[in-house]
Structure 1
Amino acid sequence: MKKKCFNIVWLIAVLLSFTACNDFLDIQPIGKVMPKTGQEFRDLLTEAYSAIPPERGKTVYRSDELILDQGSTTSDGLNLYLDIWRWKDGSEDESTTSFGWLTFYYVSYIANTVIENKNAIIEVTEAQRNQLAGEAYMLRAYMHYVLVNLYAPPYTHCNPATTKGIPLKLSSDVRDVLSRNTVAEVYSSILSDINEAENLLNVETWPEGETYRFNKLSVNAFRARIYLYMGDWLKAYQDATKVVEQHNELEDMTSSSLLPNHYQSAEAIVSFEKVFIPEFQTNGRVSNNLLNLYRSGDMRKSKFYRAETTSISYVTKGGNNEYRCTFRTAEFYLTAAEAALELNDMDNAHYYLTELMKKRYHSSRYPTYEALILSMTKDELRQEIYDERFRELAFEGHRWFDLRRTNRPELTKTYDGETYILQKDDERYTLRIPSEAIQANPGLEEE
């Protein structure tokens, strides 16, 4: 069989097309000047953070969060996203936007450059040098995490050791020819990078304006998410509870003026992703299935969404740069609850779930729902945790990945009188590798 290879050389043209704020961002051997000082490498990482595309946010079109209809969506929005929304893969309209691929490898290229030049950085303290390299490891891991969850079968629904995933890019050499790594190899690399970062990151918290950068706590947060996606319940629980122990703040929705996914929220841990961008906000309305999940007394329904009628609401927890959100506290209460449940620790599953609910429900209604939670069977509680993740983390880039890693249910959508169905365990839960990548290397399309 022809070897499946991924030639990085085609990245050269792409890298040259990016507009950089400083000459040193044209990195050798592609450009003219190699960064040397700590400030130059910091600026290089800032470019990497700012280049990350909102692809996790774009997955709202694949999931069951958003309704597209002629009354709620611009004509441009329909042209760009309709075929994504109705899972029409492989024969999309030529105006359909594609999910990103190139930019993730661009960011990885920058991360690799910082990692490889760590010991050569000048005009910097040892702690600053380590922090820069630690952030680079986290960035590289995060790029691979998004890619493998877009373009490879979910870890929990395949044989990770043999199933092909995405190419790992672990060096800055643009001449490298890479094959697609297995899903297991990708996850192993992600965890290895997180562990390397743990030894290097030394900033506990960043001042306002710099909270897009990875900090020490983000190691446990990122690792907890990865272990959750792998179904490694004990390790997911251990890392999630470490996050909550160190950063247990939750916005009180009965009194707080900030939404919990705001970058200034007490819940914010790291905030570099602009997930639900303004373009997405104007291209649809909140699905009725989601709206119907919110119970009476749940303060999120009126704060996360703007109701136009009793059945039509629009997203308010996004649409501008203030709603940058990568890791926040509530996610890890929910991760701890789910992992505890799967470990047959019902007491802690109840505890972490209800601690979150206390801050989301009106005090007059909370006792009723707490009693309901405590009366549930294990299977009922599992579904409740899934539903609570949907209610809490909607439009933050989690839902599609959650659907993939859990039960991959059948989804049904209707547009202009036509019904579209994503079957249970449908192969379309995994995206096709973009055409531009396949044009550069047709072998990527092979099974």
Structure 2
Amino acid sequence: MKRIHILILFAFLTVFSACKRFLDIKPNGKTIPKTGEEFAALLHSRLNDLDYGSGSGLIGNVSTVSALEYYSDNLDANLTQYPGGSSIPVYIGAHLNSKQTRYSELYAIIRDCNIIIDNLKSKGTPADNDVMGTAYAIRGFSYYSLLREFCEPFRGDQQVGLALVTEFNMEEKPLRSTYGQTVALIEDDLNKSISYNVKDKLFRFTADVARAYLARLHFWTRNWDKTIVHAAALLQAHPMLDTAAYHKMIQSKNAQQGNTLLRSYIFSDVSSDLAYKSEMGTLKSRPASKEFFDLFTEKENDIRFQLSFGPKRVNEKNFFANVRTDEMCLMLAEAYAHKGDESNALNYLNQIRSKRIAKYQPYTMVNLPEVKAGTISQDANGKPLSPLIQAILNERRKELYGEGDRWFELKRNGCPSFWVAANGRKYTTLPYMYTFPISGVDVQIINGLEQNPGY
């Protein structure tokens, strides 16, 4: 495979530079690659981890997705079965310190992208364009991930954003920018990636994947008009699947199928297969919460209910990190709802229900279920939930269960406090815990670098 040859080259470059610090030997031209293929090695080492589900640095794997579910309210920590569930975190507090490693991993990926963007900018062959487009997409993705995980939910452009590094400079120690400046950089990176129109799926982060993350960025920052533009284009290009094809896509262990634009663990090896099997087995030690289980009011008529649960609310769904365009339909429904366009909001809400529920009853503004008390009590704008918004959030919760979404939905919609009981103790997820601590090492060595509240 082409990627294997590139990885061999990357290994050679790594060994060659191991005896000295990268910054020390950069001026001699002995480590910075010269050709598009050599630059591609920096990307393919990361993409290889993505393909085998062996790394969490990019979109994650079954372990990172499962952890996000453990933190949220989809699974019932109070009913964890032991000893099988002994390795499952009770709540987010058990993992907060480890998130600093995630912070460093994402900035290491940004460093690799900066090396490519700084040094390949004058090239112009199709292969070079694929490398540049992918580098911009991955840098934009990495900053987007840092924004969601290490910055508070969006309230305005002047709130605290990220430390922005856009060139390879080992001595640069920037302070945190504003939220608006961070969003502008991510948007610019993803738009530049789209302009390179990467189509070679070997690079994974194609133009459509970059557009999907652009839609997600605008959705996160409540830019409903731009969300609609990008989400609608993707949904039209990659429409939702009917029941049989949907079932095959969701329950596929490895293959990227249907309207999935990107997913991890598309190749098998002994290590990744064992990790997958172990994680899926462990998941059975924590059943779904009754609140979540009861959202499936159509029960067996809903294909998602059939895929999700076995006896005693035990998980049956294949967990995997991915991007698929069904999410775009839900984003469109919510974006139109926030704009006050009930007709279009209901249209997209009913579209996804029609694909998932046999003999479904279309929602109207008259027959929407009443708002029920749950973990989320306010919407992304801080307003009390309306029947329409709650119906959309409920469909999103059902559709994207097991795909790492619910934790960020809790964060996006008010950072609600909730508690679980385990080992005779009460464990409370507090609002500040939705925003993870940035690297303590960086805070110590960079004078004036602001740590997140609560840490």
TM-score bracket, normalised by the shorter chain, equals 0.7 to 0.9
Instruction: Name the counterpart of 1:166.
Output: 162
- Write the distance in 2 (CA, Å) between the matches of 1:409 and 1:178: 32
Instruction: Name the counterpart of 2:189.
Output: 193
Query: Residue 64 of structure 1: which of 73, 98, 103 is its match?
Result: 73
- Write the distance in 1 (CA, Å) between the matches of 2:245 and 2:189: 39
Q: Kindly provide the CA deviation profile for residues 83-115 of structure 1, in whole angstroms up to 9, marking residues without a partner as x.
A: xx153688x7xxx77661111111111111111
**Normalising to structure 1: TM-score of the pair?**
0.78
Q: More deviation in 383-392 or 406-415?
A: 406-415
1:266 maps onto 2:258 in alignment = yes
Query: Residue 308 of structure 2: which of 283, 304, 307 is its match?
Result: 304
Q: Which runs of 5+ in 2 are unaligned?
A: 1-7, 50-54, 267-271, 370-384
Instruction: Name the counterpart of 2:378.
Output: none
Instruction: Name the counterpart of 2:87.
Output: 77
CA shift in 2, pair 1:112/1:154, >3 Å: same
CA shift in 2, pair 1:119/1:432, >3 Å: closer
Q: Kindly provide the CA deviation profile for residues 335-377 of structure 1, in whole angstroms up to 9, marking residues without a partner as x.
A: 1111111122222212212111122112x3x1x3x24676338
Deviation at 1:138, TM superposition (A): 0.9
Query: Residue 335 of structure 1: which of 309, 331, 335 is its match?
Result: 331
5 Å matches for 1:366-405? 366=360, 368=361, 370-371=362-363, 375-376=367-368, 379-405=386-412
Instruction: Name the counterpart of 1:37.
Output: 35
Q: Is the 8 A contact 2:307 2:316 kept in 1?
A: no
Which residue identity is paired with 1:160? D
Instruction: Name the counterpart of 2:174.
Output: 178
Which residue identity is paired with 1:108? I
Which residue identity is paired with 2:38? E
- Write the distance in 2 (CA, Å) between the matches of 1:98 and 1:387: 31
3-state SS, counterpart of residue 261 of structure 2 = strand
Q: Kindly provide the CA deviation profile for residues 7-27 of structure 1, in whole angstroms up to 9, marking residues without a partner as x.
A: xxxxxxxxxxxx995222567
Q: More deviation in 59-68 or 181-190?
A: 59-68
Instruction: Name the counterpart of 1:141.
Output: 140
Q: Kindly provide the CA deviation profile for residues 194-221 of structure 1, in whole angstroms up to 9, marking residues without a partner as x.
A: 1111221241x62xxx3x6111222321
Q: Kindly provide the CA deviation profile for residues 115-161 of structure 1, in whole angstroms up to 9, marking residues without a partner as x.
A: 1122466xxx6222122111111111111111111111111xx3431
Q: More deviation in 275-284 or 387-396?
A: 275-284
Q: Is the 8 A contact 1:168 1:180 kept in 2?
A: yes
- Pairs aligned (count): 397
3-state SS, counterpart of residue 148 of structure 1 = helix
- Write the distance in 1 (CA, Å) between the matches of 2:184 and 2:357: 39
- Write the distance in 2 (CA, Å) between the matches of 1:22 and 1:40: 11
- Write the distance in 1 (CA, Å) between the matches of 2:152 and 2:341: 29
Q: Kindly provide the CA deviation profile for residues 236-255 of structure 1, in whole angstroms up to 9, marking residues without a partner as x.
A: 11111111111113252587
Instruction: Name the counterpart of 1:110.
Output: 112
- Write the distance in 2 (CA, Å) between the matches of 1:216 and 1:417: 50
CA shift in 2, pair 1:254/1:140, >3 Å: closer
3-state SS, counterpart of residue 266 of structure 1 = coil
Q: Is the 8 A contact 2:317 2:402 kept in 1?
A: no
CA shift in 2, pair 1:254/1:231, >3 Å: same
Q: More deviation in 165-174 or 186-195?
A: 165-174
Deviation at 1:228, TM superposition (A): 0.6
Instruction: Name the counterpart of 1:7.
Output: none
- Write the distance in 2 (CA, Å) between the matches of 1:345 and 1:403: 24
**Normalising to structure 2: TM-score of the pair?**
0.77
Q: More deviation in 184-193 or 67-76?
A: 67-76
Instruction: Name the counterpart of 1:12.
Output: none
- Write the distance in 2 (CA, Å) between the matches of 1:120 and 1:397: 38
Q: Is the 8 A contact 1:23 1:33 kept in 2?
A: no
Q: Kindly provide the CA deviation profile for residues 35-65 of structure 1, in whole angstroms up to 9, marking residues without a partner as x.
A: 2223222232111333543386233232212
Q: More deviation in 186-195 or 398-407?
A: 398-407
Instruction: Name the counterpart of 1:291.
Output: 293
